[in-house]
Amino acid sequence: MKTDIVYCGDCLDVLKKLPDSCVDLVYIDPPFGSNRDQVVRGREKRRFSDRFEDVTAYLKYMKPRLLQLYRVLKPTGSFYYHCDWHASHYVKVMLDGEDLFGYKNFQNEIVWCYKSGGASPGRRFSRKHDIILFYTKSEDYTFNGMKEKSYNRDFKAYRFKGVDEYRDEAGWYTLVGMKDYWEIKMVGRTSRERLDYPTQKPLALLERIISVSSNEGDLVLDAFCGSGTTLAAAQRLGRRWIGIDTSPEACRLASRRLAHFQRADGRCEHGD
């Protein structure tokens, strides 16, 4: 099986050609069911459609693709589904099903919080987070837990026995297990990593997921890879990767992005 490759085609067809239980980590960021076309102004060719008749049609579209993703994931593998308020609750119910991951293998609902342009119409709160549903295939999975800073109240040291405390310009803090809400900057207009691909995700987000849920040499799969953020993060972290996208524009962009890392094999191929 080839790795470090971008396949251009519907992931349903491409996934059917992959063997069972070959992937360590799947991250997907498919269309969210937002009922609009996603496009960056001036980059019409990079448009992708996120239009479904209704949420039932969206779930019906995703289900066979999810069954394939489940099949190719190793029994020790992890799965992340990036979505938002449009369908996250329906998607969770689907993933909780016994023909997919099952309720008991749900690990986290990660909330990715960001600042972005555009405000609410003043009649509700601004919608500034996405949801990432994290499942594993069993209880035996990789989790390289991360720590984050937790600032002490009142800007002073607690001096609890056995607890290490540190200080920086923002005050005293301890190191605690990372929480399930992540504040990571989105790829803004002036961001250096911006490739003008609609809904491009930040490398920092993918690097976190890949670092936690895989080890060096593991195989990471993104079946809706767009501009190739997951693939670039995987390569930076010494993982093998496979990317799939229906859009030839996205495949070309992702391949170019990976070639930029000077891998001779960051190439674009059609399905078979």
Ligand X SMILES: C[S@@+](CC[C@H](N)C(=O)[O-])C[C@H]1O[C@@H](n2cnc3c(N)ncnc32)[C@H](O)[C@@H]1O
- The kind and range of the H/E element at 256 are helix 248-259
> Which two tokens mark 33?
């069911």
Instruction: Tell me the C-alpha distance between 251 and 247, whole Å.
Output: 6
Q: In what order do the strands lie in the sheet with 147-151?
A: 147-151, 171-177, 166-168
Instruction: Tell me the C-alpha distance between 96 and 91, whole Å.
Output: 8
| Nearest-approach distance from CB 37 to ligand X, in angstroms | 11
**Site residues (CB under 6 A) for ligand X?**
10-11, 29-31, 48, 197, 199-201, 223-224, 226-227, 229, 244-247, 250
| Nearest-approach distance from CB 12 to ligand X, in angstroms | 6
* Residue nearer to ligand X on the CB measure, 79 or 224: 224
* Residue nearer to ligand X on the CB measure, 172 or 228: 228
Give me the torsion for CA of 166, 172, 174, 180, rounded to 10°: -130
| Nearest-approach distance from CB 158 to ligand X, in angstroms | 40
* Residue nearer to ligand X on the CB measure, 152 or 252: 252
| Nearest-approach distance from CB 240 to ligand X, in angstroms | 18
> Which two tokens mark 191?
């961001």
Nearest to 4 by CA among 256, 235, 237: 235
| Nearest-approach distance from CB 85 to ligand X, in angstroms | 15
* Residue nearer to ligand X on the CB measure, 105 or 225: 225
* Residue nearer to ligand X on the CB measure, 88 or 199: 199
